[in-house]
Amino acid sequence: MLVGLPRAIAQDDRRSHVFLPIWHFLRPWCENLLAIVLFLLAWELAPRLGVVNRTFLPPFSEIVAYGVEYALAGKLLPHVLASLGRAAGGFALGILTGVPLGILLAWYRPLERYLNPLLQLLRQTNPVSLFPVFILFFGIGYLTKVAIIYWVVVWPILLNTMSGVKYADPALIKYARSLRLGTKTLFWRIIVPSALPSIVTGMRLAATYSFLMLVVSEMVGASDGLGYLIVNAQYLMSIDLLYVGVIILALLGIAANYALVRLERRLTRWKVDVGATA
């Protein structure tokens, strides 16, 4: 018995050396996908088992099959491209105005004191209530939809940019001033890199809001787009198509968030991950 014990221990070690790398590779996927897989499984089984009415909630596999068929027929892509064009227009306009204005207000405090009350008033205005106003100014075409998306997008970008610039690492600022760095060098070498994570966080929030507002913007005066597709499917009681539109919007939001996370990692390579060094 004792003679065979070292051999058994050696075999266990070899197995652990084989399975541990596999588990380390699979563990992040399991952690990220387990809840989603369980949710989709419940979605698939609930209508099939009669827990919910399959007229209002078809099985997930049937929705996927219908979506693939609809896409292969060439009907889905025009709606996706139309929605992406509107969301991207409002999002880009929000970045082009929100980031410079946020930096300006945070860098020049007297200007912020004068403009902050007005900005707070405008920020609290419900974007849906402004929809008729945008229609009066821009009509019911592309500009109105971009304007309503821009109104929702610009505030998280603006506020997060101001926060990032205001609360840059004071130790780094003191060190830079001890080196007698000029204001321009201090701004570009210390302030902007310190504010980047906060700016990208604002952009991630803005991307989520843009897709949420996209449906509202395409409810009026639109003849294409995912919002139009969802509303039209509701009127026609095309439940499968309605869920296809909802799923595509969710996937676009996930893709936008993933792209912005990757952008943040690329722009902030200098950051040290505390958890990784612990």
CA-closest candidate to residue 131, choices 199, 207, 54, 216: 216
Instruction: Count each helix (H run) and each strand (E run) in the chain, helices first.
Output: 12, 0
Residues 6 or more apart from 190 whose CB is under 8 A from it? 168, 169, 172, 173, 176, 181
The CA distance from 258 to 251, in Å, is: 10
Interacting residues of 185 by C-beta distance below 8 A, sequence separation 6+: 176
What are the residue ranges spanned by the domains of the chain? Answer: 1-57, 60-271
What fold does the segment set 60-271 form as a domain? Answer: MetI-like fold (1.10.3720)
> 47 near 58, Cβ under 8 Å?
yes
Question: Buried b / exposed e across 242-261, counting CB within 10 Å, b at 16+?
Answer: bbbbbebbeebbeebbeebe
What lies within 8 Å, CB to CB, of 80 at 6+ separation is 226, 248, 252
Kindly give the confidence (pLDDT) of every residue in the chain, 278 residues in length, as a single tens digit, with 9 standing for 90 and above.
445 545 555 455 555 555 566 656 667 767 777 888 899 899 899 998 888 888 888 999 999 999 999 999 989 999 999 999 999 999 999 999 999 999 888 888 888 888 888 888 888 888 888 888 888 888 888 888 899 999 999 999 999 999 888 887 777 777 777 777 777 777 777 788 888 888 988 998 898 888 888 888 887 777 888 888 988 888 888 899 999 999 999 899 889 888 888 887 887 776 655 444 44
In terms of C-beta density within 10 A (0-12 exposed, 13-18 middle, 19 or more buried), how is residue 15 classed? Answer: exposed
Amino acid at 33: L
Structure tokens at 240: 């499968």
Q: How many CB atoms lie within 10 A of CB 183?
A: 10
Tokens of 207: 């991307």
Q: What SS3 class is residue 230?
A: helix
Q: Is the pTM of this model over 0.85?
A: no
| Contact residues for 171 (Cβ-Cβ < 8 A; gap 6+) | none
